[in-house]
Amino acid sequence: MQEDRDYTHLLRRYDQAKERRSVWEDTWQECYDYSLPQRGNFTASQMPGRIRTDRLYDGTALDAVDQLAASLLGHLTPPWTQWFGFKPGPDLSAAEAQTLAPVLEESAKIIQAHFDHSNFCVEMHQCFLDLVVGGTAALYFEEAEPGAFSAFK
């Protein structure tokens, strides 16, 4: 039987973190307003169809954000090549590592094939846009049925 747990300390930590974050929210919203207005709202709710580019002087910030995000994509997670690999850890003997290496290589190829047949590249670029503008980003991986394409958000 699962015992009842008191999660009030987690809720208190959440509220404290949210309060500490609140001093930055206006700055983050302004960063998005001027350099990634198409993303929409960070903290403020806006009416659909509202023109979000009316305060922009020119496209310098928008272009710079897009170029940096594209560079990060091309250098860190290039869609045209396998950008990661697996290798046995130091806890294995040389013989065990040699036996496991081909299995890990095949696993990396399978995972890369899933990336190639998913929306990973598009979502990774969006993730890098958020990283450039807001200083943080998250990529969500949605579970798919075996044989189905994976979905990132």
- Residue pLDDT, tens place only, 6-55: 889 999 999 999 999 999 998 998 889 888 888 867 676 777 777 777 77
Residue 2 has pLDDT above 70, yes or no: no
Q: Within a 13 Å sphere around the CA of 133, how many CA atoms are in the beta-carbon half?
A: 30
| Average confidence (pLDDT) over 142-152 | 76
pLDDT band at 142 (very low <50, low <70, confident <90, very high): confident
pTM of the model: 0.80
Q: Which residues contact 150 (CB under 8 A, 6 or more apart)?
A: 114, 115, 117, 118, 120, 141, 142, 144
Q: Within a 13 Å sphere around the CA of 96, how many CA atoms are in the beta-carbon half?
A: 6
What integer pLDDT is reported at residue 1 of this predicted model? Answer: 46
